[in-house]
């Protein structure tokens, strides 16, 4: 299974999501190969930090895709590497699209869907979800963005939101997944809900 985490717009939290999902899979006993095709190398940097701190399980992140698919693969892509992006999308079985709650992000997602459809050879399953959701009780942008995403068609809008929480940034800067740093916290619960929606709660058991 090849899973790509991506979007055209920067700042949507792609690397944070890929990092946490990779460690969730490892925590469930899965073998997963992780790839960072973004020249910013954020995912490789946090994996290096994790290694320096001696945290387990060890997370290895490669910067180029292998010639042939190998089991469970998780790929973080960036638009500044269009060659890598196109190669990853061509091989993807599923694409996870984190979307911040704004109209600009909806427009970006629409253009990203056009690229996926033009590039993919597998017709991957497409998932979108609200990332960095506004936690204010009266905020309307979360629901409005979800509604706009559903109108795009061709993708599944997950009933999962990851809120704009300090814990996601703090754990990432420490080289830890949110469920490692604060297992019972809200960020951990949200990440687990996302992982189970994409991979299934029984994966690895």
What is the mean pLDDT for each group of 10 consecutive residues in the chain (205 residues)?
91 93 96 94 96 96 92 91 92 96 95 92 94 90 96 94 96 97 97 96 52
pLDDT at 203: 56
pLDDT at 167: 97
Print burial letters for 13-51: b (CB count within 10 Å at least 16), e (below 16): bbbbbbbbbbbbbbebebebbbbbbbeebbbbebbeebe
Contacts of 85 (CB under 8 A, 6+ apart): 6, 37, 77, 78, 79, 115
What is the DSSP pairing of strand 72-76 with strand 32-36?
A: parallel
Q: How far apart are CA 91 and CA 195, in angstroms?
A: 21
Strands (E), the chain: 2-5, 32-36, 61-62, 72-76, 94-99, 125-133, 156-163
* Tokens matching residue 67: 């010639």
Q: Is CATH 3.40.50.300 what the domain over 2-199 is classified as, yes or no?
A: yes
C-beta of residue 95 within 8 angstroms of C-beta of residue 134? no
pLDDT at 201: 63
pLDDT at 205: 41
* Stated pTM of the model: 0.94
Where do the domains of the chain lie?
Answer: 2-199
Q: How far apart are CA 13 and CA 165, in angstroms?
A: 12
pLDDT at 9: 81
């Amino acid at each position: 299974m090849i899973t790509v985490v991506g979007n055209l717009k920067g700042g949507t939290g792609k690397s944070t999501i890929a990092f946490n999902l990779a460690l969730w899979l490892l925590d469930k006993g899965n073998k997963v190969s992780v790839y960072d095709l973004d020249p910013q190398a954020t995912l490789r940097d946090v994996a290096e930090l994790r290694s320096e701190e001696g945290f387990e399980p060890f997370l290895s992140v490669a910067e180029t895709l292998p010639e042939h698919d190998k089991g469970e693969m998780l790929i973080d892509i960036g638009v500044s590497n269009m060659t890598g992006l196109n190669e990853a999308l061509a091989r993807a079985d599923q694409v996870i699209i984190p979307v911040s709650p704004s109209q600009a992000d909806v427009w970006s997602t629409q253009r990203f869907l056009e690229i996926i459809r033009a590039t993919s050879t597998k017709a991957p399953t497409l998932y979108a979800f609200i990332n960095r959701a506004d936690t204010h009780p009266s905020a309307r942008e979360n629901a409005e963005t979800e509604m706009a995403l559903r109108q795009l068609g061709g993708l599944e809008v997950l009933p999962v939101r990851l809120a704009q929480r300090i814990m996601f940034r703090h754990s990432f800067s420490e080289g830890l997944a949110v469920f490692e740093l604060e297992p019972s916290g809200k960020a951990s619960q949200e990440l687990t809900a996302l992982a189970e929606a994409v991979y299934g709660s029984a994966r690895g058991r």
